[in-house]
Amino acid sequence: VHFQILAQELGPATNLSTLVNVTVYLADVNDNAPVFEQNDYIVDLPENMTAGTRVVQVHATDVDTAGLGGRVRYTQILGPHNTSLNLDPASGVVTVAINNHGFDREAMPEYHLYVEARDDDGIGNRAQVPLVIRLIDVNDETPTFEKPLYEFILAADLRNFTVPAFIRATDGDAEAPNNEVRYELIYGNYENKFFLHPITGELKLNAPLVPRTGSQSAVGGLRRRRQTSGVLPPNLASTGTTSQQQQKESDVFVLTARAFDLGVPVRYSTATIRVYPPESRTRTVTFIVPGSDPDRKKVQDTLADITGGRVIIQEVRPYRTGDGGIPTDLIGAGGGGSGTERSVVIATILYDADSVVDIAKIQQRLSINGTVTNIISQEERSAILYKAENRVLFWLLIFLAILLALGILTLLLC
Ligand SMILES: [Ca+2]
Ligand SMILES: [Ca+2]
Ligand SMILES: [Ca+2]
Ligand SMILES: [Ca+2]
């Protein structure tokens, strides 16, 4: 700072004066913090950026003399996932440090961080500037079905299902088209009988779906059965499928559906749809059980054991001779008007793909006095079912006998 000092006489006679130049040297002190060139730094980056990706270069200046607190260093980044970023202390370049950085568009659209600069070679006054990383959505989420297996039952008219048949997959991506899901059938839609709505995922029928039964179904049945063998319960898969199982499986249409997104590259997953014709899954059967007022729960459990299906009791009423067209000769020897009370139980049997009949369990139940003494079928299809069940028992017995024979043979050989 330069200035002059004037000295002057103030007496009445003379008025002499003198002038001197003064120069004051100011010693610089570090009294200014660094200042960033921008108020904030906003960058757009794909969420799948990898290690080494350059994020931004920040820059700050300091008005103090370089040697005396004016030397700026970039010291740290503050905020979410700050440890995933590298900051060059000298240049201010910010890069991605690791591949598994944690920045995820699905979690948050933008991340707010701060970059800090300090003068005096990194130990002096601080300054901070916002760094906003806006993430660009990448197709990194796959459409996922709510469940791996959908099961629908044909209604009696063979044109619809018993309930609206929707399949649904969701895609976790943040934005369209990465999260837009479409559906298609990729396997099992023989003769284009089925139509899967690409957007809603509703399965419909192009034409009445006539179940393939008898010899006509042999080829189709075999083909489908091979495809479904993976989902058979282990006991059936190991002992060989029974004839009843074959019959059931040949009636089941198995489709494979795919859900894919509209992102690039496309991501997809699949699900299985099983369509059951109405007749293959349910039977309404009339049973005669002992007692005038049988315990519904017990009867239900007993019938479930005998039939290997799920039992829904529709009606229970007292049995009278010749009731409901039930021929009396089908009833056991003691049935002809003796004092034994009986009841008619009408029940619907639902079959799952893995219906199992446990003979030991039936024997156990039958040995409990008076639980069940007689089972007869009223309708013709009930009779078919009855025979089919007998066939299951027959083959199971044969299998057990073979096992026994093998066991004896092994013992003899040893
Ligand atoms: Ca300074
Ligand atoms: Ca993501
Ligand atoms: Ca996606
Ligand atoms: Ca995404």
- Residue 364 has a pLDDT of 78
What is d(CA 28, CA 280) in angstroms, rounded to the nearest whole number? 96
Ligand 3 midpoint to CA 281 (Å): 37
Place of tokens 């189709």: 220
Ligand 1 midpoint to CA 79 (Å): 25
Q: Provide block-wise average pLDDT over 10 residues at a time, the chain (414 residues).
A: 88 83 87 95 97 97 83 96 97 97 96 96 94 97 94 86 93 96 94 94 90 45 40 40 50 92 96 81 77 84 84 79 55 47 81 74 69 40 51 79 83 78
Ligand 2 midpoint to CA 105 (Å): 5
Q: Is the Cβ–Cβ distance between 285 and 334 less than 8 Å?
A: no
Ligand 2 midpoint to CA 86 (Å): 21
Residue 362 three-state SS: helix
Ligand 4 midpoint to CA 108 (Å): 10
Q: Hey, which residues does 271 pair with through a beta bridge?
A: 257
Left if phi > 0, otherwise alpha if psi is -120 to 50, otherwise beta: which for 122? Answer: left
Q: Hey, which residues does 86 pair with through a beta bridge?
A: 95
- Residue 177 has a pLDDT of 95
Ligand 2 midpoint to CA 47 (Å): 6
DSSP letters of 41-105? EEEEEETT--TT-EEEE--EE--S-IIIII--EEEEEESTTGGGEEE-TTT-EEEE--S-----T
Ligand 1 midpoint to CA 180 (Å): 53
CA-atom Rg of the chain in angstroms: 43
Ligand whose nearest atom lies closest to the CA of 103: 2
For the chain, domains (ranges, CATH) are 35-136 (2.60.40.60), 141-209+251-279 (2.60.40.60), 281-325+340-372 (3.30.70)
pTM for the model: 0.57
Ligand 1 midpoint to CA 67 (Å): 10
Q: Strand 169-170 relative to strand 144-145: parallel, antiparallel, unpaired?
A: antiparallel
Task: For the beta carbon of residue 87, count every other beta carbon within 10 angstroms.
Answer: 21
Ligand 2 midpoint to CA 50 (Å): 13
| Residue 199: DSSP 8-state | T
Ligand whose nearest atom lies closest to the CA of 121: 1
Ligand 1 midpoint to CA 133 (Å): 28
Ligand 2 midpoint to CA 332 (Å): 70
Ligand 1 midpoint to CA 130 (Å): 20
What is d(CA 87, CA 115) in angstroms, rounded to the nearest whole number? 9
